[in-house]
């Protein structure tokens, strides 16, 4: 039975043996090979003095080494701290010190700056993979060669910590969400159940492994015996080519990936007929884009929702069941959701009314490492957790995210939600991507401004897009300015960074201007 993160690969190797489990970096690995390699790494960790409960930071891009390191750390009984490869050394120093990590494992380019900071960061060992490993670091490959391919799993309880995953830190320093062994495994099992993944599936994923959406995709593939085609990063040609080449049945990614793919001029030239379902998470995908994807590929898009504080997806649209594009679906098994008044968590809102989404169940984190005050602010004594998302629930129990509470725009006393505007703008046939944020206004406090990427060869004017919105939204919700752009700022996991939209400055494009462009 799989109860902890360390159980996943031994289970997979016993059940799926020599079946291909991973395709990455031009190599193919069976489940048995992944088991042996991660055993070798676990043995070398033990030889380096790493004990159960110790903390190990994993810092590098998507690669087979990342996966071997991840499962080797888990088998050893240590707590894995997966770090976004896009973070700077300074940001990672904070995470290492905050978490109390003893070992840093990563690609040579990422760990190199830490070789002179070992004493100041408290690190006892640095392990690097890649070419030209510095003499001051241990060689990842040498550890694999030296470690035995047999390892006795260090047992952990479901209540023990399995991972510490850090939030993006949009307001000050990031916070480390402590995920239990139970929550990590439950997230993978829930994803497997809702999207019905099996050994016959081939999954293409460019999601960054350290992100909770990326790690749940990895764990679900290993758990169910699917073949995971792990891409180093997102690119339109890379994704479309991988789906076609490997006859993928599942594609997992974030909304911006779907925007870029649908806008790609050669999209229809690729054979995507093998796809049977796709998933999206991280941010809300407008229903219009979900339907467009299904119309052009034949595969439904199942929207999931989760948070770093929830170890992955906590709600989702089921494959065998009603799929409602634009909603985040139903709570995962064992999870409970409710919508409460924004200013009163004791007051539950009626069906269809907006309020803050709260959640309770086994996926909820144990808390923020070393930060009891922040933990108390988000998790109530009764176990219900504040999500900071504004949502509604329909008569069938399906939840819809209206927007992030902190992204709400206050216009002359009215609440305007960027995600609602983005969904309406994306219905327009010329729009590839829409991002909305608030801009300061002396008279009304804030006004909504839209940043628009057009489809290849398409044209539209700001005035035309505002009129498009006027037909579907109340007047106070309309964008007061439209700027046409070639790109928008996104995080390493592909989320639109609304707080940085104001920095996309090539002059304010007022509503009367027309422009043609294509995403790059």
Residue 51's CATH number = 3.40.50.12780
Residue 50 lies in a domain: yes
If phi > 0 it is left, if psi is from -120 to 50 it is alpha, else beta; for residue 25 that is: left
The dihedrals phi and psi of 382, each to the nearest 5 degrees, come to: -85, 5
Residue of higher predicted confidence among 445 and 112:
112
Element (H, E) at 256: helix 255-263
Task: Give the chain's domain count.
Answer: 2
Q: Using DSSP, how many helices (H) and how many strands (E) does the chain show? A: 15, 29
Give pLDDT, residue 397. 97
Dihedral sign (CA 262, 266, 268, 273): negative
Residue 127 lies in a domain: yes
Residue 87 lies in a domain: yes
Give pLDDT, residue 168. 63
Residue 326 lies in a domain: no
What CATH number is attached to the domain comprising 427? 3.30.300.30
The model's confidence at residue 443, banded by pLDDT at 50, 70 and 90, is low
Mean pLDDT score of the chain, rounded to an integer?
Answer: 91
Residue where a domain stops, chosen among 179, 205, 227: 179
Q: What is the mean pLDDT of residues 400-422?
A: 79
Q: What is the mean pLDDT of residues 196-210?
A: 96
Residue 505 lies in a domain: yes
Q: Produce one character per residue of 87-126: b if its CB has 16 or more CB atoms within 10 Å, e if not.
A: beeeebbebbebbebbbbbbbbebbbebeeeeeebebebb
Among 322-336, 400-414, 417-431, top mean pLDDT goes to 322-336
Residue 11's CB is within 10 A of a number of other CB atoms, namely 18
At residue 489, does pLDDT exceed 60? yes
Residue 41 lies in a domain: yes
Residue 465 lies in a domain: yes
What letter would DSSP give residue 362? Answer: T
Helices 212-224, 181-194: inter-axial angle, 10-degree rounding? 70
Residue of higher predicted confidence among 337 and 488:
337
Give pLDDT, residue 172. 58
Residue where a domain stops, chosen among 179, 208, 242: 179
Q: Is the separation of the CB atoms in 315 and 304 below 8 Å?
A: yes
Enter the pTM of the model. Answer: 0.84
Q: What is the mean pLDDT of residues 111-116?
A: 93
- Residues of the domain holding 467: 408-516
Residue where a domain stops, chosen among 155, 179, 203: 179
Distance CA(366)–CA(66), nearest Å, equals 25
Residue 398 lies in a domain: no
């Amino acid at each position: 039975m799989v109860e902890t993160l360390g159980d996943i690969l031994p289970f997979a190797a016993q059940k799926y043996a020599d079946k291909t489990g991973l395709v990455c970096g031009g190599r193919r690995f069976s489940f048995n090979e992944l088991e042996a390699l991660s055993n070798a790494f676990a043995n070398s960790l033990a030889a380096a003095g790493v004990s159960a409960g110790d903390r190990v930071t994993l810092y590098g891009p998507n690669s087979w080494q990342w996966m071997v390191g991840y499962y080797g750390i888990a088998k050893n009984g240590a707590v894995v701290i997966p770090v976004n490869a896009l973070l700077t050394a300074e940001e990672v120093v904070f995470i290492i010190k905050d978490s109390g990590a003893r070992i840093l494992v990563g690609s040579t380019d990422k760990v190199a700056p830490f070789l002179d900071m070992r004493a100041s960061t408290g690190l006892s060992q640095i392990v690097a993979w890649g070419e030209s490993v510095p003499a001051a670091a241990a060689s990842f490959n040498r550890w694999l060669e030296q470690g035995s391919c047999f390892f006795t799993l260090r047992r952990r309880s479901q209540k023990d910590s399995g991972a510490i995953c850090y939030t993006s830190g949009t307001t000050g320093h990031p916070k480390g969400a402590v995920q239990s062994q139970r929550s990590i495994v439950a997230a993978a099992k829930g994803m497997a159940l809702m999207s019905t993944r099996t050994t016959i599936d081939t999954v293409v994923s460019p999601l960054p492994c350290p992100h909770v959406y990326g790690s749940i995709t990895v764990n679900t593939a290993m758990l169910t015996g699917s073949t995971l085609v792990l891409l180093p990063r997102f690119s339109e040609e890379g994704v479309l080519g991988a789906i076609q080449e490997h006859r993928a049945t599942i594609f997992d990614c974030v909304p911006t990936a779907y925007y870029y793919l649908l806008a790609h001029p050669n999209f229809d030239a690729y054979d995507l007929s093998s796809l049977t379902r796709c998933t999206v998470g991280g941010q809300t995908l407008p229903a219009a884009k979900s339907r467009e994807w299904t119309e052009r590929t034949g595969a439904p898009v199942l929207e999931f929702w989760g948070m770093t504080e929830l170890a992955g997806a906590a709600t989702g649209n089921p494959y065998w069941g009603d799929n409602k594009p634009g909603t985040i679906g139903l709570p995962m098994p064992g999870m409970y959701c409710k919508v409460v008044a924004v200013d009163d968590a004791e007051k539950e809102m009626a069906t269809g009314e907006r309020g803050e989404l709260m959640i309770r169940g086994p996926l909820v984190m144990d808390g923020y490492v070393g930060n009891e005050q922040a933990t108390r602010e988000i998790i109530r004594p009764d176990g219900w957790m504040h999500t900071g998302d504004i949502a509604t629930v329909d008569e069938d129990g399906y939840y819809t995210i209206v927007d992030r509470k902190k992204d709400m725009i206050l216009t002359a006393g009215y609440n305007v939600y960027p995600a609602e505007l983005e969904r309406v703008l994306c219905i327009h046939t010329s729009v590839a991507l829409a991002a909305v944020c608030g801009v300061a206004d002396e008279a009304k406090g804030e006004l909504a401004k839209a940043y628009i990427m057009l489809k290849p060869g398409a044209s539209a004017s700001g005035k035309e897009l505002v009129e498009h919105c006027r037909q579907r939204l109340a007047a106070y919700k309309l964008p007061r300015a439209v700027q046409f752009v070639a790109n928008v700022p996104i995080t390493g996991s592909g989320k639109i960074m609304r707080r940085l939209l104001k920095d996309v400055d090539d002059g304010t494009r007022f509503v009367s201007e027309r422009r043609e462009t294509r995403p790059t």
